[in-house]
Structure 1
Amino acid sequence: MWGNRDRATQVTCIACGDTVSRTDAREYDKEGDRYDRRDKEFEYLCKPCHRDIDHQPRGNLESLLAESGAGETDREAFLTRYAELATERGPRSESER
């Protein structure tokens, strides 16, 4: 039903960088829709890092990070673009928090 998954595969935690077995990790979908699995490649968090993250809704944070070039550009360019976009969009309303 879920397809053939090789649970013995080693994955790298995106938070701490440790390499762990797939069974000792949790899937992370930066698009926020882990149940739509078609043509998706997931990133992973080790179980301790997964427990440590805030599981509350983050609004459009992932899309803002992706649009800012997170993980694809140097730190200075990312921070400059992130600040521009965040300023442009302004503070979230109370209903969006």
Structure 2
Amino acid sequence: MWRSDNDRVSCIACDASVPREDAREYDKHGDRWDREGKRFEYLCKPCFRDLSKHSRDGLEAALEDAGAGRVDDVEFVERFLEAAHEDPPGRE
């Protein structure tokens, strides 16, 4: 079977272009089983192996609260680390 360019995806970690069958789906919300209306991002196999498999509960909200995509990198990291220090994971 021939593959078209549409069968290739870019790894979100290293930007490598790999055949879709050689990539792993990544869902930033951690719910890859609920597929309705979703567009997945992809990781190449080496980057997927290096990915932490820890729970991401609350991570997306924490990134947004720290200004992800809205403030410069230095300010974002400062905000994120400050929030993480104030509210460490696992503390209810």
Instruction: Bin the TM-score by the shorter chain.
Output: 0.7 to 0.9
CA contact (8 A) 2:18 2:44 kept: yes
4+ residue segments displaced more than 4 Å: none
Determine what percentage of the aligned residue pairs are the same residue: 51
* CA drift at 1:83: 3.7
Unaligned runs of 5+ in 2: none
RMSD value, Cα = 2.5
Taking structure 2 as the reference length, what is the TM-score of the superposition?
0.72
Unaligned runs of 5+ in 1: 1-5
Q: Which moved more, 1:15-24 or 1:60-69?
A: 60-69
Hey, what's the Cα distance between the residues in 2 that align with 1:67 and 1:12?
27
Paired position in structure 2 for 1:60: 58
Taking structure 1 as the reference length, what is the TM-score of the superposition?
0.69
Tell me which of 71, 88, 91 is aligned to 1:91: 88
Paired position in structure 2 for 1:27: 25
Change (3 A) 1:45 1:10: same
**Equivalenced residues, count:** 87
Q: Answer yes or no: is 1:17 the counterpart of 2:15.
A: yes
